[in-house]
Amino acid sequence: MVQLAAGCSGESAVGESAQNSAQAAPATVAQPQEERKLVLAFGDSLYAGYRLGQDESFPAVLERALAARGIAAQVANAGVSGDTTASGAQRLAFALDGLDRRPDLAIVGLGGNDVLRGLDPDETRRNLEAILAELQRREIPVLLTGMLAPRNMGEEYVARFDAIFPELARAYDAEVYPFFLEDVITRPGLMLDDGIHPNAEGIEAIVERVAPMVAEQLEDPAGQTPAGRGR
């Protein structure tokens, strides 16, 4: 049983993370820029790489994992520490408009800070729905990486929060990875000492699970609706 939902800590410097926002991870496949797939990793400090080196962040490791699969991709790091779903919804258009072109895929990972602050799950749902609606309007496929509420928040809160990601994925025909820290948050050796953020080994473990889903969406766009492939 997960006792703590993951999120990004407000203690990390938002300015420092914003500086890395929408920056590409180092290229790992020798291929002209215009021929590489473009993936937007849009999230909080779990994406930004809280207390990790730039090459250890989720987007950077994912880019290398895709390259190992023979997929030439640029994974733009649009993770900002401290972001709630509300702040994410506010900056989405700016992040998208700052890219050279429309992404082939958007990976969205927000909600951890909402639950850490005890925000109303209905608010989280509305904000994520606004994000998904905008991505759908721009015809960008989506992979949601979900979040779970701490079990000590009470059964009603947990039930309302945990339902958000799978229900919105169905509503917007998006792919969903149910819990970003699955099999990581319960293993101290894969977490930082704050018990909230994964360390470099934890990111590697997450990418090992998420990369096949990303690869499938990038390799097989046929049959996808504008918002992605549904479950």
Q: Which active-site residues does the annotation give? A: 45, 194, 197
Token pair of 50 as six digits: 């809280």
Other beta carbons within 10 Å of 7: 26
Tokens of 226: 């504008």
Task: Tally the residues of the chain.
Answer: 231
Please state, in angstroms and rounded to a whole number, the distance separating the CA atoms of residues 205 and 124.
27
In whole angstroms, give the CA distance from residue 158 to residue 24.
Answer: 35
Torsion of CA 204, 104, 49, 158, to 10 degrees: -80
The burial of 58, by beta-carbon neighbours within 10 Å (0-12 exposed, 13-18 middle, 19 or more buried), is given as buried
Structure tokens at 201: 């080994």
The answer to whether 80 and 21 have CB atoms below 8 angstroms apart is yes
Q: How many CB atoms lie within 10 A of CB 5?
A: 25
